[in-house]
Amino acid sequence: MSTTFQLDTSTSRAHPTPAPMKRLTIPAIRKRKQDGHTAEPVVMLTAYTARQAQLLDPHCDILLVGDSLGQVIYGLPSSVPVTLDMMIAHGAAVVRGSYHAVVVVDMPFGSYEASPQQAFASASRVLKETGAAGVKLEGGEAMAETVAFLVARGIPVIGHVGLTPQAVNVLGGYNARGRSEAEAAKIVADARALDAAGAFAVVVEGVVEPIAVAVTEAIGAISIGIGGSARCDGQVLVTEDMLGMFERVPRFVKRYENIAETIASAAQRYAEEVRARTFPGPDQTYQPR
């Protein structure tokens, strides 16, 4: 038996609950790719809160606590200002709200680049304080030594190549990568280096489709596309993008709902009823007995 946290939707509180060990494991996900082919693609979405995790959990193999929370939750201009403490707080919430999916937490900018030792100190904090199963970090060949260092010490790692948002200041924006032969070759080489270092999966973001396919074919690890190709071994999106929470829709995002419109409409109806003094009504107030 293991202890997980079930979210009581009537009180919005998480309660420790003994439950059978049913959570997916990283080795089980990694084994889906056999002889270069993944029969069942890996489903990954971002999650930042316990309630969001609870809703997404039954449908996902991996919940990624992405440093995209900087923009999505905190309104920051990029993911660069996100701190390790922020990632740990949200990572712990997602673990509490999930039961089935593997939870992986992004390593924020500045928490791992200096040395493998720094990366281990940060990643071990993440796993200890959140209960997550692994971490994700950006960078290719330059991070291969760090990935190998972490994996050798029991920390599963997802790599990230192509468009790497933490390097936005170097890249000069969020444009698609791999349009030149040299850049395309580097992306594939980066993915190979991460694979050789022991990463169990590699996110391939914002690259021209043939490069995403080439990466998928070149590595034994699971390739997870975001702006890549349907031929990747899995896919990830920022949940808020997929749900239509923002006006801007990146090219690689498909909107499955328009939640922003639903929220705005509900808030408008609430405001109208408050101003008309029709809310709260008899059903929402306590009367003398």
List the catalytic residues: 205
Q: Which residues pair with 205 in a beta bridge?
A: 162, 226
DSSP string, 153-191: TT--EEEEEES-GGGHHHHTSS--B--SHHHHHHHHHHH
Q: Which residue has the tokens 């071990």?
A: 124
Between CA 202 and CA 138 the distance in angstroms is 9
Sign of the CA dihedral running 87, 192, 218, 30: negative
Q: Could you tell me which residues are annotated as the binding site for Mg(2+)?
A: 67, 106, 138
Between CA 108 and CA 116 the distance in angstroms is 15
Q: Could you tell me which residues are annotated as the binding site for 3-methyl-2-oxobutanoate?
A: 67-68, 106, 136
CA 99 vs CA 50, 137, 168: distances in Å: 11, 24, 34
Torsion of CA 57, 62, 68, 72, to 10 degrees: -10
Q: Could you tell me which residues are annotated as the binding site?
A: 67-68, 106, 136, 138
